[in-house]
Structure 1
Amino acid sequence: MASTESEANRNHYAAIAANAGKLTSPQAIIDYNDTHWTALTGEPGGVDYSEVDAGGVPALWIVPKCADARRVLFYAHGGGFIGGSIYTHRKLVGHLAKAVGCRALAYEYPLAHQAKHPAQLEAAMAAWNWLIDQGVDTRSIALAGDSCGAVLTYGVLQRLRSQGRPLPAATLIISGWFDMALTGASYETNRKKDPAFAREAVDWLVTNFIGDRDRLDPEVSALYADLSGFPPVFLQAGADEALVDESRMFAERARQAGVETRLDIFDGMLHSFQMMAGRAPEADDAIGRFAAWARPRLGLPDAVNMAAGERAA
């Protein structure tokens, strides 16, 4: 049974649906997210934040105390390309980086009303190139993202592979958006459970993002990409969200391509419920699972051994 605390996420999406007709401008949507989405997440504590120009892209260094500076999470925030920012997601990424024990770089990209695809992927690549120019070893980086951040995460991987460049160590995806063709059955099976992501609403988001471009283009729909040779991936999704089958389908495609794949589906949860980190037990559990999986792939000790070492010191 979902916790009482987790209801805040469901209430958030219900409020978005109820206010949809009132949010009539891109700025109104941005302002709503800045106020209401950000409030879902508790402060992680013991984390510093520093703004940086990452190759012309606004970005935020997120640095937990005692973090291993050699390891980095490269984070793409969600928001359907109509909202969200490094600031709405600052605390979520702080929780994740703190649990893993590394730094994180969260980057911005143009929203869809500012520029259509591929402007967002170009920004992601500029931030990636800047990070590599800082001397960070690719093998010490994990890509991470939520919702539409999955588009950019797998866009970056495809660009790197096409350029013959090294790939990162691992990938962490929250409620990934993988299929602009919207073929998942859960749009119908979860229609009454998910108050915000009806097929019609997501269809509008697709058109807003790519216009009349091909919805099966692998750079926007990673479900149709060649996934062979990509790094291990850990996918998380809520059982009640309309997009959950996209994670299921993508996990199956990844396994068929020989990619080490883990998929955890959380009962009673909606889209990007991890935004309640620090407030709801389901979100904290999900972050903990990510961290336990990511640490060895980044060459970090497990949390138990690290805690024992800190006590001994």
Structure 2
Amino acid sequence: MSAEEREAARGMMRKGELGRSPAEQRAEFDELFANLPLGDDVTLSERTLGGVPALDVRVAGADRDGLILYLHGGAYVIGSARTGANLAAPLSRRSGVPAVSLEYRLAPEHPFPAGIHDALAAYRELAGQNVVIAGDSAGGGLALALLLAARAEGLPQPAAAVLFSPWTDLALTGPSIDARDGYDPLFSRPNMAESAELYLGGADPHNELASPLFADLTGLPPLLVQVGTAEVLLDDSLRLVSRAAEQDVDVSLDVVAGAPHVYQYFAGLLPEADEALDHAATFIKNRLRDKSVGGVA
């Protein structure tokens, strides 16, 4: 990625204004992301998983064994199954694995742990199948919380999890929250604190299901974490990977210099975004194959 490409990518983002209502934030986010073209080879259809609304993301020719359960980003306040399809579809296309994007409940109407309850309900219906969990930003944090909740319930772990710029620390204790503020075109500590307050609804930000960074990660499946350095959430990924490695979790990390939050959205514009999705797709195929052959729990 050239310096010009990095600057252009960051220039397409801007920090949101503080104090806007969730409805205002959702309307702006949907205007930007809810109608992006997915490709003529993609068909969306409504379904439910464990009683939770979802979208089947069917890409022509993506008929490998297994399933990608995608959890969308949006700071737990905005976003939808449709915006999640923007990344679920290219993952499905590149891996050949069908995908489902979940419409979990959002804060502040449904604060923590409502989203986790929805993700767990959906996963219960899939548990024991050949599944990979994937998510971006808050959806990445929710994916980790789902793994922890499934472990606590005694459910089998999925084959793997793919995390794009995951938000893993709602207590905002990472040094990059402040050190990267001027570099991150999208978020700042005040932005993140506002969203965390809406989601937590008074709950402890150190609760491991709200901030999986603080959890015992032992026994989780293989993780792939991708993050850019132009992110206040950089340390949410770096510290997660370090803790996972210390606790004998198979973990891989991709860091792209100068890339913004969830840079995979820039596929087709930034080579690193396409490379990231290709790597994630290969990871998904390999982990599903390993579980199918080896019966990994």
When the two structures are superposed, what TM-score results if normalisation uses the length of structure 2? 0.91
Distance 1:283 1:276 in 2: 6
Structure 2: tracts of 5 or more residues without a match: 291-297
| Residue 307 (structure 1) aligns with | none
How does 1:115-126 map onto structure 2 within 5 Å?
115-126=110-121
Distance 2:125 2:8 in 1: 37
Deviations 1:95-121 (A, max 9, x none): 011111100111011211211111111
How does 1:1-313 map onto structure 2 within 5 Å?
1-2=1-2, 9-14=9-14, 16-17=15-16, 20=17, 24-38=20-34, 43-68=38-63, 70-132=65-127, 137-138=128-129, 140-299=130-289
Q: Which amino acid aligns with 1:84?
A: G
Contact 2:82 2:101 in 1 (8 A): no
Q: Give the superposition deviation at 1:5.
A: 6.3
Q: Give the superposition deviation at 1:29.
A: 1.0
Q: Give the superposition deviation at 1:179.
A: 0.7
Deviations 1:271-302 (A, max 9, x none): 111122344322111101111222111118xx
- Percent identity reads 34
CA RMSD of aligned residues (A): 2.0
Distance 2:270 2:185 in 1: 20
Q: Which amino acid aligns with 1:10?
A: R
Contact 1:42 1:276 in 2 (8 A): no
Q: Compared with structure 1, are the counterparts of its residues 279 and 184 closer, same or farther at alpha carbon in structure 2 (3 Å cutoff)? A: same
SS in 2 for 1:13: coil
Q: Give the superposition deviation at 1:162.
A: 1.2
Q: Give the superposition deviation at 1:12.
A: 4.0
267-276 or 171-180, which moves further after superposition? 267-276
Q: Which amino acid aligns with 2:280?
A: F
Aligned residues: 290
Distance 1:4 1:46 in 2: 32
Contact 2:57 2:89 in 1 (8 A): yes
Deviations 1:50-94 (A, max 9, x none): 111223211011122222353101111000012111112222210
Distance 1:223 1:252 in 2: 10
SS in 2 for 1:70: coil
Contact 2:6 2:258 in 1 (8 A): no
Deviations 1:250-281 (A, max 9, x none): 00000001001111111111111112234432
Contact 2:70 2:84 in 1 (8 A): no
Contact 2:68 2:134 in 1 (8 A): yes
Distance 1:224 1:292 in 2: 29
SS in 1 for 2:156: coil
Q: Which amino acid aligns with 1:149?
A: G
